[in-house]
Amino acid sequence: MAEKTNTFDIFGTKAIEVETHNREKKGDSIIYAPKAKDASDGIYQAKVRFLYNPSNPTKSIIHKVTYFLKDSADQGHTFDSPQSVGDWNSCECAQLWRKLSKSESALDRKNAEKLQKRDVFYSLVYIIDDAVKPANNGKILVMKYGVKLKAKLDRYLNPKTGKKVDIFNFFNGRTMDLYITRQGNFNNYDDTSFEDSASALEINGAEVEANDAGREVLQKFMSTAPSLDQFEYKAMSPEDQSKLQVILNQYRSSGAAVSSITTKPASKPAVKPASKKDDVVEEESEETSQAGESKDENLDEFLDNLGI
């Protein structure tokens, strides 16, 4: 049984400080990633409620840095980066990007553009009303989102001015109105917002009350939630490490210098630039993620410590 100091009353009305990371198993039955292109009119509308992570409520937002890279056969692969846990120096993608982006070679700098990191976030959401995919209604899924939508959460969880608002709270949290449009090749979240008023979570059409009956309803409700632990950063397996090396080797050879491309001599072959020692990316300060404890144990502990 976990010590009391490591537990949180996610079924209470008191706000919990959720780590906001200001610094996958894939499957349609688990991941919720609404896209404007999925809507017949190009506008994806839904009402969702962000939920606490029962394993560790402070980790209700899982953050990872990833790289999506293509091999020589143009097949895409996603790799977790150690930057997810604040370790820049161990990220070979970041190190190579730094070297290529500073190179005098035009080809190197072009290849650096293919080594762009992505910040990805995961949270549990309750689908209240999905106008595009109504089969999702009533389900708890794992929402995968990026920095644009994350900024919407930060306005409440980590505001620049004013008081913090615990959008995750079961009894006085906020519902998000998703309104996703298409802007070029990207989803636009400009018109997505949280509702102005706080409200209790509704399950089967009834608001959950802060009493023993409500506690029982929430216990049953949260027992259906997928685990967020599987989306935490994990060090690469030897197989994935080998795959990454093969892909990165496509970019490690020095490219042609700009001068050799624009003013190639007629009588002399282009001179290959002298190799340089790899630049080292300076470590940047970011919060370190830690996996939570098992959900079943902590959920029982939360219930034991309810003050209602």
5's CB contacts (< 8 A; 6+ apart) are none
Q: Does residue 270 fall inside a structural domain?
A: no
Q: What is the per-residue pLDDT for 5?
A: 41
- How far is it, in rounded angstroms, from Cα 291 to Cα 151? 23
The answer to the question of residue 284 being in a domain is no
Q: Is residue 285 part of a domain?
A: no
Centre a 10 Å sphere on the Cβ of residue 201 and count the other Cβ atoms it contains. Answer: 22
Residue that has been written with the tokens 């950063």 in this structure? 233
Is 266 inside a domain boundary?
no
Q: Is residue 76 part of a domain?
A: yes
Predicted pLDDT at 272: 46
Low-confidence ranges of the chain (pLDDT < 70): 1-28, 253-308
**pTM for this structure?**
0.74
Number of domains in the chain: 1
- Is residue 47 situated within a structural domain? yes
| Contact call for residues 194 and 174 (beta carbons, < 8 A) | yes
DSSP code, position 16: -
Encoded amino acid at 77, one letter: H
The pLDDT of residue 84 is 96
Residue 283: inside a domain, yes or no? no
Whole-number pLDDT of residue 6: 42
Closest residue by Cα to residue 308 from 1, 9, 17: 9
Q: 198 — phi, psi (to 5°)? A: -70, 150
Read off the CATH number of the domain in which 203 is found.
3.90.198.10
Domain assignment of residue 269, yes or no? no
Q: What is the pLDDT of residue 271?
A: 47
Angle, CA 307 vertex, CA 305 and CA 308 arms, to 5°: 130
Contacts of 166 (CB under 8 A, 6+ apart): 15, 16, 18, 156, 157, 172, 173
Instruction: Catalogue the long-range contacts made by 162-167 (C-beta closer than 8 Å, 24 or more residues apart).
Output: 164/15, 165/198, 166/15, 166/16, 166/18, 167/50, 167/194
Whole-number Å distance between alpha carbons of 163 and 82: 33
Q: Is the dihedral of CA 61, 3, 164, 208 positive or negative?
A: positive
Q: What is the pLDDT of residue 72?
A: 92
Output Rg (C-alpha) for the chain, integer angstroms: 23
- Provide the terminal-to-terminal Cα distance of the chain, rounded to the nearest Å: 21
Give the residue numbers spanning the domain of 149. 4-258+291-304
φ and ψ of 173, to 5 deg: -90, -165
133-166 residues labelled b (16+ CB within 10 A) or e (exposed): eeebeebbbbbbbeeebbebbeebbeeeeeeebb
Q: Give residue 17's pLDDT.
A: 59
